[in-house]
Structure 1
Amino acid sequence: MDVLEKERIQQAFKEKMDYDELMNCTRCGFCLPSCPTYIETGQDEVHSPRGRIALMKGLVDGKIEPSEEVKASIDLCLGCRACETVCPSGVKFGRLLEQARDAIYQANKQSFLEKFMRHAFLRNVFPYHNRMIGLTGLLRFYQRSGAQTLARATGIMKLFPEHMRVMERVLPEVPKRKEMKNRPHHLMPLIEKKTKKVAFFSGCLMDTMFMPTNDATTKLLQYAGCEIVIPETQNCCGALHGHSGEVEDARELAKRNIEAFEQAEVDYIITNAGGCGAFLVEYGYLLKDDPQWHARAKAFSNKIKDITSVLVELDFHKRPLQLEEQVVTYQDSCHLKNGQQTFIEPRELLKAIDGVQYVEMKDADRCCGSAGIYNLVEAEMSMQILDYKMKQAQKTKAKTIVTANPGCLLQMKLGIEREGLSEEMQAVHIVDFLLEAYEKANK
């Protein structure tokens, strides 16, 4: 970093960081055992929540200078927010992390490739559903045209890192373009008694690459007696933008979503992706300094509810649910547990299925290493964390690992493939698992 760049970053930290929140940290160290990067780096304080807060405060106070080492510490954080759940002072570390990344990336001199990637994907693809369909359509072409078979047969895939080669093998089969474009916008209950009127946040990747899981989600809600509104003008939640230091873009996406859902007049806004849901419930904070949007954002966030939470509220776990006999374990989505405080409900639903023997995994709530695009940009640490997770999963002797977030799902599939366990173990999203259990028991 040159002198001017350091000055810009230091000034950005002074302007963007919530100093009162930084001061809330009492340096007690309760967060240390909950932090995956602290554990995996051999208890290096620089890679702990307490250490990162000390770096942030040092930059604001002018006691330390910006450096590549400071940036590396901030980058290596998974943003899992496990530290928040054990902090006696209630420090909102996730907010501090986003502020720090915003300060670094808006003031840092970015390479041409980094600028291009951010502009191309964060600003020009994810916010636009039709462009997301086009992007995932390219993946479908690769999967169906013979290009995938050719790439594997000719050894081209060997040019990529090992974890990316495995990731290519576990990517879901992308739906047809026509199917992705012809999405429903209003659905009625599939039982006589209507229980709730809800809206469904369909997301960007969830409504393209993971579209069958979205369909399973709405069908479960219909079986639970819900009328469902799916606003056509909704867009990306903004989580990737907020976590990557593009906070202004995240705010614009939030405003579009608030407008899209305001007229729905529903009891809840349902999500099925832990990462999206945790960011949606933060809209009130994201827009706290905007007097025209703050109240509207809080009203929006107050309606966000995970699919598992609403199913338990509607006693779905008391209905007949059945699957073939199997051992099942659950991997928490960090943001579902730590951001939305939803962790009992998925377990209640799984334990209610006849034929399922539920076995709790040790450290089920420790991050799996996916964390958005973390497994691409911090691959070494991601795989190190995944290796630990797979050891714990194997100890349960589970046939099925269930999770509630697309990133976690792909990461667990990646872990299964890397361990050579694809013949004896599978990973599924909880709504796909529940739908199969409901329809098997209610033929």
Structure 2
Amino acid sequence: MTTVKEQQVIQEQFKERMNQDELLNCMRCGFCLPTCPTYIESGLKEAHSPRGRIALMKAVVDGIIEPDEEVERSLELCLGCRACEPVCPSGVKYGHLLEEARDIINQNKKHSLPVKMVRNAVLNGLFPHQNRMQMVTGLLGFYQRSGMQTLTRKTGMMKLFPDHLATMEKVLPQVPTMKKMKNRPEFLEALGPQTKRVAFFKGCLMDTMFLESNDATMKLLQLAGCEIVIPPDQACCGALHGHSGEKDAGKELAKRNIQAFEDLEVDFIITNAGGCGAFLIDYDHLLKDDPDWKERAKAFVSKIKDISEILYELDFHKKNHLELPEQVITYQDSCHLRNVMKTASAPRALLQAIKGIEYREMKDADRCCGSAGIYNIVESEMSMQILDYKMIQTKATLATTVVTANPGCLLQMKLGIEREGLTDKMRGVHIVDLLLEAVGQEK
């Protein structure tokens, strides 16, 4: 609960920092309403729509309302999926407004000691330090391989946790060993004639818990004729910080990444996680007020490209024989990959090029699955409502394989498959792992 003094400070910060031109750009037309999962799932409550949240922000700026718990709750419940942006006739950058508002509130309110400790441990003590990410993942690996996981499940200890967390434990990937996580490449040659020289943004979770998908990504790039540089001093993208009201920490991580990549003389910087890519491609906005970094940020952003885009542009699907055993495949968009990076057709084209499969488009494939970073943990009730709808559409395709392009989406869809009791009929897979499977390199 914010005090009166805190509310006054927050209100002043809203007046000083919020982009009033952007707030005024919203015409209140309502085109965003059908695209907003929280508006739909909340029973069409205006305060839980993009239009409604912008109205609340502007009301705080104008001094009409105070930034009380209801305003904060409305902003907290937003997924940040940014599905409202592509349909907005005025081109309102809602995501930028949301991040600024959350940062102002977070930086000017007192968190309880437990919340403060958890935020500090995760956002400052863990994600910015890859060696610590490896250590935590290593502990998870020990839990999986030592027999502790089997024992925990047999004794029913997971019943002590909320249902969605207990189910999530079941769908976590088998994580790599510490040796594999430590022994990472810094340079890979193209396989065949070289077409491009690229750098690879390996990420934090992607290069630990989802390391096999990173390896698949690099193998696909090599097969596409790309020489790959993987700078060892790159850092977490900062998305979790930016979305959680820790904008300054996000800026510091952005600077570390720009510095790590800017002298490599590469054609592109490749990402394979929609959430990371969307934050990376926004570095120019994040650092727009920093005279020492804004041009460097623009140069960095100009090279960001998703793995599916470069594979499609290099005709990977035409130059390589892609085939899989007979199966029905559907695709679940990563919100940030589609809405921010504007990548939707390339992954579909790659999947449809695979022989032996039937591709079926899912209804509302572009609607958020409810993962949204750590949203499915901190807002589990709304997240599960959104996931339930997504699983209705998934089952309607009769798909046996659900493809995603973001680690959070992948875990969320696997969670949905587990909750529906479909693990023997359906699987969730990252697009790079499926493409490598289709090209036969797993053999």
TM-score range, shorter chain: over 0.9
Give CA deviations for 1:316-346 in whole Å, capped at 9, x if unaligned. Answer: 1113100001110000000000010000000
Q: 1:199 and 2:199 equivalent?
A: yes
Q: Is the 8 A contact 1:8 1:108 kept in 2?
A: no
Aligned equivalents of 2:7, 2:404: Cα separation in 1? 41
Aligned to 1:233: 233
Aligned to 1:415: 416
Give CA deviations for 1:255-301 in whole Å, capped at 9, x if unaligned. Answer: 00000001111000000000000000000110000011000000001
Give CA deviations for 1:217-240 in whole Å, capped at 9, x if unaligned. Answer: 000000000000000100000000
Q: 1:218 and 2:222 equivalent?
A: no
Question: Cα distance, 1:15 vs. partner?
Answer: 2.5
Aligned equivalents of 2:186, 2:16: Cα separation in 1? 42
What is the number of equivalent residue pairs in this alignment? 441
Aligned equivalents of 1:248, 1:284: Cα separation in 2? 14
Of stretches 170-179 and 12-21 in structure 1, the one that deviates more from structure 2 is 12-21
Q: 1:209 and 2:209 equivalent?
A: yes
Aligned equivalents of 1:131, 1:295: Cα separation in 2? 32
Give CA deviations for 1:112-147 in whole Å, capped at 9, x if unaligned. Answer: 111111111111110111011011111112112222
SS in 2 for 1:402: strand
Aligned to 1:403: 404
Aligned to 2:395: 394
4+ residue segments displaced more than 6 Å:
none
Q: Is the 8 A contact 1:98 1:242 kept in 2?
A: yes
Question: Cα distance, 1:190 vs. partner?
Answer: 1.4
Aligned to 1:323: 324
Letter in 2 for 1:128: H
Of stretches 42-51 and 108-117 in structure 1, the one that deviates more from structure 2 is 108-117
Aligned equivalents of 2:90, 2:107: Cα separation in 1? 30
Q: 1:88 and 2:89 equivalent?
A: yes
Aligned to 2:139: 138
Question: Cα distance, 1:151 vs. partner?
Answer: 1.5
Aligned to 1:313: 313
Aligned to 1:28: 29
Aligned to 2:290: 290
Aligned equivalents of 1:95, 1:356: Cα separation in 2? 40
Give CA deviations for 1:166-208 in whole Å, capped at 9, x if unaligned. Answer: 00000011100011011000000112x1000000000000000
Question: Cα distance, 1:12 vs. partner?
Answer: 2.2
Give CA deviations for 1:394-435 in whole Å, capped at 9, x if unaligned. Answer: 000000000000000000000000000000000000000000
Aligned equivalents of 1:3, 1:221: Cα separation in 2? 55
Q: Is the 8 A contact 1:199 1:230 kept in 2?
A: yes
Letter in 1 for 2:296: R
Matches within 5 A, 1:44-443: 44-191=45-192, 193-318=193-318, 319-439=320-440
Aligned equivalents of 1:11, 1:369: Cα separation in 2? 33
Question: Cα distance, 1:439 vs. partner?
Answer: 1.5
Aligned equivalents of 2:173, 2:271: Cα separation in 1? 20
Of stretches 378-387 and 319-328 in structure 1, the one that deviates more from structure 2 is 319-328
Question: Cα distance, 1:16 vs. partner?
Answer: 2.3
Letter in 2 for 1:159: L
Question: Cα distance, 1:6 vs. partner?
Answer: 1.2
SS in 1 for 2:440: helix
Letter in 2 for 1:254: A
Aligned equivalents of 1:435, 1:149: Cα separation in 2? 31
SS in 2 for 1:197: strand
Aligned equivalents of 2:147, 2:112: Cα separation in 1? 35
Aligned equivalents of 1:2, 1:92: Cα separation in 2? 30
Q: 1:9 and 2:10 equivalent?
A: yes
Letter in 2 for 1:239: A
Percent identical pairs in the alignment equals: 68
Segments of 5+ residues of structure 1 without an aligned counterpart are none
Aligned equivalents of 1:269, 1:281: Cα separation in 2? 10
